Chain A
């Protein structure tokens, strides 16, 4: 026993390896390996009649995706929706998080926290179905203002913004809370008015929080298919819907896997861009 501990003491790398191996093995086996097995099928084909997978290596699936204007349009629409949701949620979340972090009294801050986190306890489907009842003809919105948003992309946009807002508020709150009040006072002493202080002092310091929140809103919108399926109309086809219909209905798993690689590559590019902007400096 003493010899084992002596060995570990003298070789820090052995300690680290021993500690890392169990969680890493779990991660590699159940997450990465499963993901790799799925993504490898992207290079295979299916028998068109029986829909059994045939291990014929080819890039056909990727060629189909990128040469078809329909699929390119779907990818563009998904990225556009994700960007719109991210920008909107940032704009909505920032004043809210600022109020919570710097203005609210401790009691009202707790109440606000509860208000934001409570919807996360409700089931996803319950929330989306509630919006369905709000948007439908003869629904809540229709009875107040005569507008029918159901089965439009506006409905999808609003529901996405609603669903991911807590994920944006919390990181921005955490970032804003860490800013020492003395910095803001110093900025004001130097003659900076509200907007200038906000733009030159608050925003750069809050940027890591905003980027963290945007990773949530962007990636969650990129892959979601349930909200477009329920509240979206005939033009609410997103990447997630193509993957869903190809796995569960057309049983074309290779094509779905090829399609699944697209948001992964987009997110990788997004993260690299965020890193280049210095968003991960604080970590």
Chain B
């Protein structure tokens, strides 16, 4: 192998390498790798006992002192939302765009973790709002990625059910960081072809009889569903709250999911993917959101959904305002619009969830007879009690003890022990 050895060829290379090395060192040392930890140091405190976990004492929300809007000004013409699939249906987005002139650009997120990640750095100055669920809210708040909201500017807020006006997952020390939206369950979905009657227990998704036909979401919070099942079927474990698990309880739930893995045809990652699997017969039973049921029913596919006897996990969503929202006026207009009874009813019936506005019930029955009762918009307490709403698992349990498993461990257990 011949190689040129003239000095004229080696010198510029040496100089170029020197420049490159210097630049790299400069870039590496001067990099801003993100702000250091804000506020919550992994929860060293007593959390309030409510759905959502409540304020983490000893930690402050970095943006609590920011001023709120006093009057809604002229719309900025654009609105960038991070939303669950099905939350920005043209049915209610188009009238909003025509009324306010704010063009809605929606980024669909498939999990709470994704929403927390997208809201980093206040959404990077790019997103205005996020429809986050209870298990994402605290993480977003304590990272300083949301800003306070003036609920006096949202007239429909007065008509909300009291439990959703200032819930612990979006209101800390009386400061609101968004407006509650709707809430719903994670249902057991099954094909009508294979299940003549609705299953009465979540046990069907842990039953080897359905090997290769089961699907559950690809989400660490699924461990809570396993814990909820064990709450009824292994009472000796003493599980009371599926999001607050001691190590033995946690390991039992993880083991149940690891044993379930051979039955799973695929951990679904998006709404369209689960709908595809059920339509093609790749899956016959599994955990789903009501919107999948709505979509399959609309496609005239024989599908059913139920909340089995053990109850179900669920989620309560909030439209949270980003700390660096570029279009705050449009954001407030959206919060006003989405809270009104007619729009709440339309979203509830289309998606299959329960509205937070008391007055939506009547509107829902106008759209679809019997839907108010079907989606529990009359909010009977018994239904509320049967659903364990998503909340961020913290190291401090609600009883004041410090031995609960925090969410970071849920993620690593999901990645290494279950999947």
> Which A8-46 residues have C-beta < 8 A from chain B?
12-13, 16-17, 20-21, 24-25, 28-29, 32-33, 36-37, 40-41, 44
Q: Is the CB of A233 within 8 A of B266?
A: yes
**Chain B residues, Cβ within 8 Å of A54:** 36-37
**Chain A residues, Cβ within 8 Å of B27:** 29, 33, 36-37
Q: Is the CB of B35 within 8 A of A52?
A: yes
Among B23, B38, B408, contact of A29 (Cβ-Cβ < 8 Å): B23
Quick check: is B24 within 8 A (CB to CB) of the other chain? yes
Q: Is the CB of B33 within 8 A of A55?
A: yes
Most chain A CB inside 10 Å of its own CB: which residue of B40, B139, B416: B416
**Chain A residues, Cβ within 8 Å of B419:** 234, 237
Quick check: is A184 within 8 A (CB to CB) of the other chain? no
Known: A151-B265, A234-B261. A13 touches B12 (CB 8 A): yes
Chain B interface residue count, Cβ-Cβ cutoff 8 angstroms: 54
**Chain A residues, Cβ within 8 Å of B276:** 132, 136
Quick check: is B113 within 8 A (CB to CB) of the other chain? yes
Q: Tell me how far the C-beta of A12 lies from the nearest C-beta in chain B, rounded to whole angstroms.
A: 4
Comparing B14-22, B155-163, B328-336, the segment that makes contact with chain A is: B14-22
How many angstroms from the CA of A24 to the CA of B23 in the assembled complex? 11
**Chain B residues, Cβ within 8 Å of A37:** 27-28, 31, 33
**Chain B residues, Cβ within 8 Å of A44:** 33
**Chain A residues, Cβ within 8 Å of B39:** 50
Quick check: is B152 within 8 A (CB to CB) of the other chain? no
Q: Is the CB of B117 within 8 A of A251?
A: yes
Quick check: is B46 within 8 A (CB to CB) of the other chain? no
Partner-A contacts on B (CB < 8 A): 1, 8, 11-12, 15-16, 19-20, 23-24, 27-28, 31, 33-43, 56, 111, 113-114, 116-117, 120, 139, 142-144, 261, 264-267, 269, 276, 280-282, 394, 406-408, 411, 415-417, 419
Q: Which 8 A-B pairs have the closest CB atoms?
A: A16-B12, A53-B34, A48-B408, A70-B416, A47-B37, A33-B27, A50-B143, A249-B113
Complex A-B: 11 CB contacts under 8 Å = A13-B8, A28-B20, A32-B24, A47-B40, A47-B41, A50-B40, A137-B280, A138-B280, A233-B264, A237-B419, A249-B113
Partner-B contacts on A (CB < 8 A): 12-13, 16-17, 20-21, 24-25, 28-29, 32-33, 36-37, 40-41, 44, 47-55, 68, 70-71, 132, 136-139, 150-151, 229, 233-234, 237, 242, 245, 247-253, 281
